[in-house]
Homo-oligomer: A and B are copies of this chain.
Amino acid sequence: MENEALGMLLRRGIDLDSMAQLVHELQVPYNPTLTVEECRESVSHVLMKREVQYAIITGVTLDEMAEEGALKEPFGSIVREDDRLFSIDEILALGIVNVYGSIGLSNFGFLSETKPGCLGRLEERGGVSTFLDDIVAALVAAACARIAHNA
């Protein structure tokens, strides 16, 4: 199932390296000797967790089916429009953020709000990424939390 989840991310334009890059930028101020390779490994560990894999499979499937018009209405339109009050995407992402405890929360919020790196590219790319952008922010935040726990 891990390969399934990783494959779905790749299919939507998100790879391990671009997430590792964001982890590195966020964590290096606290940990100046941290390498991008260590960040990549931390993202990999997050992706091994079963609940993380379920969240990715759920979110990416919904984005893709919404994009293809394959979700029943009104749900399809709701996902496509990503109304500010539709918070199911953020709730789903929280399940990922919390896998290494609540310390991932502030990084998650910061990434969701500022959309640096691959998160910004996701927005430019077009298509539906209602769930994916929160999922990627959550994966990065959880990988940061894991590094903080092990530091």
Binding site for B on A (CB under 8 A): 1, 4, 30, 49-51, 54-55, 57-58, 61, 64-65, 70-72, 74-75, 78, 84-88, 90-92, 94-95, 98-99, 101-103, 105-114, 148-149
Contacts and interface: CB of A to CB of B under 8 A. Distances in A.
Contacts of A102: 51, 87, 90-91, 94-95, 98
B99 A101 contact: yes
Please name the 3 residue pairs, one residue from A and one from B, whose CB atoms are nearest each other, closest first. A109-B109, A106-B112, A110-B113
Contacts of A75: 57-58, 61
Most chain B CB within 10 A, of A86, A92, A94, is at A86
Nearest to A108: B109
A9 to B, nearest CB: 15
Contacts of A57: 74-75, 78
A102 B92 CA distance: 10
A85 B149 contact: yes
Contacts of A91: 91-92, 94-95, 102
A148 B84 CA distance: 8
Given A65-B72, A71-B65, A95 B87 contact: yes
Contacts of A50: 85, 101, 149
A88 B59 CA distance: 10
